[in-house]
């Protein structure tokens, strides 16, 4: 038997033990499956209520049956409430600025004529994009209302140009839900990892382990490795539920996403390990873990575009693994990005993961003597 083989002989018993404990720990299982489900439901519900019945004004310069049927189609999506007609673009602007309307449908005079001649007829939807949640869904709804009507030739009969006002950097639809994958992974992994180790410290089992011949690599790998799997299970739960309940797009390569997610998962477990080297009790571990939560929600770009933040906030955001992972998530899931366009973020995550694990393992080694 080689020495290296012997050195890691404690790894399997550790992992096995960890899984038995995990299976019995209802809180962990609830956190793994229940938390993503609840969060998804909350966010999904929030998205729906907010984008339904967007007060909309119509500027119909075509005044044709075609234009009226477009207005109907838009209304029928349920996302737009037609609150009245505007006579000029200036009127639209003042209505939106006053907050009376949050969207406008502009149908130009040649709309019906273009449609009749087989050309693509153009209409415009203006959205108050200050609220990205509302506007993204409105954009999607407008596109859906129009795409239902194609020419027999297959060419698009109409095209709706969307002009998001006030927030032109708005990038994509389904902005929030893919990000939820990253946010939930981050929160639960840091918390569970930190708690798992502090629990052993509290109960005296860590001290007991340290006087056994188990090597530190087995001890730490055995503690961390099961949670990598937890991370993947959780990620899968969120993706599947997101797809089933809210139809979030899964456009790009899933193997690529799962591959680069390893770096993100390990980075967060490293942070959890770090938490466990500071916290003496499980309550402290929990408080420390939640310290990561607010920056993750507010500064990573999960909820608000980072471009719109003050520079110091952007810098803090750069220290969060979630910031990079969000770009990977949105890139792969929404834009079908390949490795060639996400590798810089993946590299940063890999470096971060290595660094934080190395640091935490060193601190951890010291605390266990």
Interacting residue ranges for other proteins, rule: CB under 8 A: 9-10, 12-14, 16-17, 20-21, 24-25, 203-205, 207-215, 369
Q: Least distance in Å: CB of 216 to other proteins? A: 10
Residue closer to other proteins, measured from CB, 25 or 131? 25
Q: How far is CA 125 from CA 51, 78, 281, in A?
A: 15, 15, 55
64 vs 71: CA distance, rounded Å: 11
Q: Least distance in Å: CB of 268 to other proteins? A: 24
Inter-residue contact 22 to 226 (CB < 8 Å): yes
247 vs 333: CA distance, rounded Å: 12
Q: Least distance in Å: CB of 24 to other proteins? A: 5
Residue closer to other proteins, measured from CB, 255 or 369? 369
Q: Least distance in Å: CB of 228 to other proteins? A: 21
277 vs 344: CA distance, rounded Å: 30
Residue closer to other proteins, measured from CB, 6 or 339? 6
Residue closer to other proteins, measured from CB, 131 or 215? 215
Q: Least distance in Å: CB of 208 to other proteins? A: 3
Residue closer to other proteins, measured from CB, 123 or 361? 361
Residue closer to other proteins, measured from CB, 50 or 207? 207
> What are 168's two structure tokens?
């032109």
Q: Between vectors from CA 247 to CA 136 and to CA 346, what angle results, nearest 5°?
A: 75
Q: Least distance in Å: CB of 20 to other proteins? A: 6
Q: Least distance in Å: CB of 201 to other proteins? A: 10
Q: Least distance in Å: CB of 225 to other proteins? A: 16
Q: Least distance in Å: CB of 286 to other proteins? A: 19
Residue closer to other proteins, measured from CB, 76 or 208? 208
Residue closer to other proteins, measured from CB, 1 or 98? 1
Residue closer to other proteins, measured from CB, 12 or 166? 12
């Amino acid at each position: 038997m080689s020495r290296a083989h012997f050195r890691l002989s404690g790894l399997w018993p550790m992992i096995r033990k960890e899984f038995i404990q995990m299976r019995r720990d209802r809180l962990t299982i609830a956190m793994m499956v229940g938390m993503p489900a609840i969060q998804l439901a909350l966010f999904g519900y929030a998205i729906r209520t907010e984008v339904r019945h967007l007060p909309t004004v119509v500027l119909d310069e075509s005044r044709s049956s075609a234009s009226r049927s477009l207005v109907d189609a838009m209304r029928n999506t349920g996302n737009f409430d037609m609150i009245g007609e505007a006579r000029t673009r200036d009127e639209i602007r003042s209505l939106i600025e006053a907050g009376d309307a949050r969207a406008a449908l502009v149908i130009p005079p040649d709309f019906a004529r273009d449609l009749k001649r087989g050309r693509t007829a153009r209409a415009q939807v203006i959205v108050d994009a200050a609220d990205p949640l509302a506007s993204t869904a409105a954009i999607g709804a407008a596109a859906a209302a129009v795409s239902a009507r194609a020419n027999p030739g297959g060419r698009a009969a109409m095209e709706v140009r969307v002009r998001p006002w006030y927030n032109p950097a708005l990038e994509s639809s389904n902005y929030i839900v893919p990000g939820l994958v990253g946010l939930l992974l981050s929160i639960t992994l840091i918390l569970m990892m930190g708690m798992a180790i502090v629990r052993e410290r509290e109960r005296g089992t860590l001290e007991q382990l340290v006087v056994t011949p188990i090597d530190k690599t087995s001890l730490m790998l055995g503690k961390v490795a099961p949670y990598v799997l937890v991370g993947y299970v959780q990620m899968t739960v969120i993706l599947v539920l997101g797809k089933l309940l809210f139809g979030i797009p899964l456009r790009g390569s899933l193997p690529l996403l799962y591959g680069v997610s390893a770096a993100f998962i390990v980075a967060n477990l490293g942070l959890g390990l770090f938490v466990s080297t500071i916290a003496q009790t499980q309550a402290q571990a929990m408080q420390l873990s939640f310290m990561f939560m607010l920056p993750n929600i507010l500064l990573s770009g999960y909820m608000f575009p980072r471009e719109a933040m003050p520079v110091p906030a952007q810098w803090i955001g750069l220290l969060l693994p979630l910031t990079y992972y969000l770009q990977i998530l949105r890139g792969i899931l929404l834009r079908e990005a390949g490795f060639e366009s996400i590798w810089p973020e993946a590299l940063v995550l890999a470096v971060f993961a290595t660094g934080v694990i190395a640091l935490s393992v060193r601190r951890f080694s010291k605390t266990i003597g």
